[in-house]
Chains A and B, each alone.
Chain A
Amino acid sequence: MVSDSENYVAANTSLTVTVTAARRNQGYWGRVWTRLLRDWGTLAAISIIALILLAAIFAPLLATHDPTQGSVLGRLKGFGYNGHILGTDETGRDLYSRLLYGSRLTLITGVLPVLLALIIGGFLGVIAGYFGGLINSLIMRVMDVLYAFPSVLLAIAITGMLGSGVTNTILALTITFVPPLVRISETVTSQTRAMDFIEVARSSGAGSFTIIRFHVLSNILAPVLIYATSLISISIILAAGLSFLGLGVTPPNAEWGLMLNNLRSAIWVNPAIAAFPGLMIFITSMSFNLMSDGLRRAMDLKL
Chain B
Amino acid sequence: MTGTNANMASDPAIVETQRPLLSVENLRKHFPIKGGLFGRTQAVVQAVDDVSFEIRKGETLGIVGESGSGKSTTARVIMHLFEADAGKVVFDGETVGRGGIAYRELCLNVQMVFQDSYSALNPRMPIGLSIAFGSMAHGVPRKEALDKAAILLSKVGLDPATFANRYSHELSGGQRQRVNIARALALKPRLILLDEAVSALDKSIEAQVLDLLLDLKGELDLTYLFISHDLNVVRYISDRVLVMYLGKVVEVGPVEDVYENPRHPYTRALLSSMPSMDPRNRTMEAPLSGDPPNPINPPSGCRFRTRCRFAETVCGKSSPALTAHSDMNARHAVACHMHDPGSGHSLASQTEAPE
| A contact residues vs B (CB 8 Å cutoff) | 1-2, 4-5, 8-9, 12-13, 16-17, 19-20, 23, 25-28, 195-197, 199-207, 210, 214-215, 218-219
Query: Are the C-beta atoms of B158 and A203 separated by less than 8 Å?
Result: no
- With contacts defined as CB atoms under 8 Å apart, how many contacts are there between chain A and chain B in the complex? 113
Sample of 29 A–B contacts (CB below 8 Å):
A2-B219, A8-B157, A8-B212, A12-B157, A16-B163, A17-B162, A25-B166, A25-B167, A26-B167, A28-B124, A28-B167, A195-B119, A196-B120, A197-B130, A200-B183, A201-B122, A202-B81, A204-B133, A204-B138, A205-B106, A205-B134, A205-B187, A210-B137, A214-B122, A215-B122, A215-B125, A218-B122, A219-B122, A219-B124
A204 / chain B contacts, CB cutoff of 8 Å: 107, 111, 133-134, 137-138, 186-187
Query: Are the C-beta atoms of B170 and A196 separated by less than 8 Å?
Result: no
Taking the complex as formed, is B98 at the interface, i.e. its CB lies under 8 A from any CB of chain A? no
Chain A residue at minimal CB-CB distance from B118: A196
Query: Are the C-beta atoms of A27 and B167 separated by less than 8 Å?
Result: yes
With A16-B175, A23-B170 known as contacts, the answer to whether A200 contacts B120 (CB < 8 A) is yes
Query: Are the C-beta atoms of B104 and A205 separated by less than 8 Å?
Result: yes
Tally of chain B residues near chain A (CB < 8 A): 48
Chain A residue at minimal CB-CB distance from B124: A218
B122 / chain A contacts, CB cutoff of 8 Å: 197, 201, 214-215, 218-219
Query: Could you say which of B80, B119, B137, B162 contacts A20, with CB atoms under 8 Å apart?
Result: B162
B212 / chain A contacts, CB cutoff of 8 Å: 8
- With A and B bound together, what is the CA distance between A199 and B175 in angstroms? 20
Chain B residue at minimal CB-CB distance from A200: B120
- With A and B bound together, what is the CA distance between A214 and B134 in angstroms? 11
- With A and B bound together, what is the CA distance between A202 and B111 in angstroms? 10
Q: Tell me the minimal C-beta distance from B121 to chain A in angstroms.
A: 6
Query: Are the C-beta atoms of A16 and B162 separated by less than 8 Å?
Result: yes
| B contact residues vs A (CB 8 Å cutoff) | 3, 76, 79-81, 103-104, 106-108, 111-112, 114, 116, 119-126, 130, 133-134, 137-138, 154-155, 157-159, 162-163, 165-167, 170, 172, 175, 180, 183, 186-187, 212, 215, 218-219
Query: Could you say which of B80, B106, B137 contacts A206, with CB atoms under 8 Å apart?
Result: B137
Chain B residue at minimal CB-CB distance from A204: B134
- With A and B bound together, what is the CA distance between A9 and B156 in angstroms? 8
Query: Are the C-beta atoms of A5 and B219 separated by less than 8 Å?
Result: yes
Chain A residue at minimal CB-CB distance from B113: A200
- With A and B bound together, what is the CA distance between A127 and B252 in angstroms? 43
B172 / chain A contacts, CB cutoff of 8 Å: 16, 19
Query: Are the C-beta atoms of B107 and A203 separated by less than 8 Å?
Result: yes
B81 / chain A contacts, CB cutoff of 8 Å: 199, 202-203
B111 / chain A contacts, CB cutoff of 8 Å: 203-204
- With A and B bound together, what is the CA distance between A218 and B138 in angstroms? 21
